[in-house]
Structure 1
Amino acid sequence: MFEVLPARLVQSDLFELAGSPGMVLGCAAGDLLRVADDGRFEVVEQGGNWCIQAAGLGHVSAESFAALRVAVADLPGLAEAPPDLRFIVVTVGRAVGLPVIEQVMDSWAAGIDGVEWWIGNGDHATSSA
């Protein structure tokens, strides 16, 4: 399994992410990554964003995803997902602060059985079911 993300080439092996990953932990849009030929990467410089990922056994409806998009747009942030909504990725600036993000994500996830969310980058192991 692999995920293709938009990025800007900075040097031969250094890229600035233009989007946050939905399936990979440890990075977010705005981070500078050094990428090896085998696909492994290291974050050289952390950007200004949190990457929040959501998935689970529950089915996320188009309506609930639309509600999340509106809620995170007010932070400001961006919620994205593939057409089948099998996972969701939210990019929010670090300046917003985790308590605000947690409140928005907890409120959204509370209405969907089996869906969990977590911070995909950083040292915080925040998650909710």
Structure 2
Amino acid sequence: MTFDPQPPTGTHIRLLAGHAGSGQPVFEVLPARPMRSGLFELTGSPGLVLGCAAGDVLRISDDGRFEVVGQGQNWCIQVAGLGRFGPKPFAALRDAVADLPGLAEAPPDLRFAVVTVGRAVGMSAVERVMDNWAAGIDGVEWWFGNADQSVLSA
């Protein structure tokens, strides 16, 4: 993995993940490092928000919408299933992506997972590892959370 997290700063940002059936906004809170002119560098990849990964530099509006103004060196791979993951499938995911090298994370209740992998590894290597891992788990799906991200200058 090419992203080296900064020391904890206690800064978190709130990004719009979508809207609930009631129309209410749903937000994901993520660790970040403040930068110049109201910009933030993500220090963790999102599990729900699409379009960014750890290492990206974001401009965030008051409503949680964001623009990637500097693309980092990482892919964000998001993983979800029909329910919660068990500890064994999550441990297998952690082990599988460690060889890329990558980092798999999940909330304590294992309702989803997120993998951060350096772009230099290449999509095909990530796809192979993720497909092999997912093949043994019923109802699991994974996707690149930031594959369609366009590169903008900072």
Q: State TM-score, norm by structure 1.
A: 0.91
Q: 1-side partners of 2:45 and 2:134: how far apart?
A: 20
**Is the contact between residue 75 and residue 117 of structure 2 (CA under 8 Å) also seen in structure 1?**
yes
Q: Identify the match of residue 62 of structure 1 among 75, 87, 91.
A: 87
Residues 1:53 and 2:78 aligned together: yes
Structure 1 unmatched runs, 5+: 125-129
Q: 2-side partners of 1:27 and 1:46: how far apart?
A: 8
Q: Identify the match of residue 39 of structure 1 among 57, 61, 64.
A: 64
**Is the contact between residue 46 and residue 53 of structure 2 (CA under 8 Å) also seen in structure 1?**
yes
**Is the contact between residue 6 and residue 17 of structure 1 (CA under 8 Å) also seen in structure 2?**
yes
- Give me the identity figure in percent: 76
Q: 2-side partners of 1:113 and 1:84: how far apart?
A: 18
**1:86 CA drift (Å):** 0.7
Residue number in structure 1 paired with 2:135: 110
**1:84 CA drift (Å):** 1.0
Larger Rg: 2
**1:46 CA drift (Å):** 0.6
Structure 2 unmatched runs, 5+: 1-25, 150-154
**Is the contact between residue 31 and residue 47 of structure 1 (CA under 8 Å) also seen in structure 2?**
yes
**1:39 CA drift (Å):** 1.2
Secondary structure of 2:30's match?
A: coil
Secondary structure of 2:53's match?
A: coil
Q: 1-side partners of 2:51 and 2:45: how far apart?
A: 10
Q: 2-side partners of 1:108 and 1:44: how far apart?
A: 33
Q: 2-side partners of 1:59 and 1:82: how far apart?
A: 10
Q: 2-side partners of 1:22 and 1:58: how far apart?
A: 15
Q: CA RMSD in A?
A: 1.3
Q: 1-side partners of 2:94 and 2:121: how far apart?
A: 16
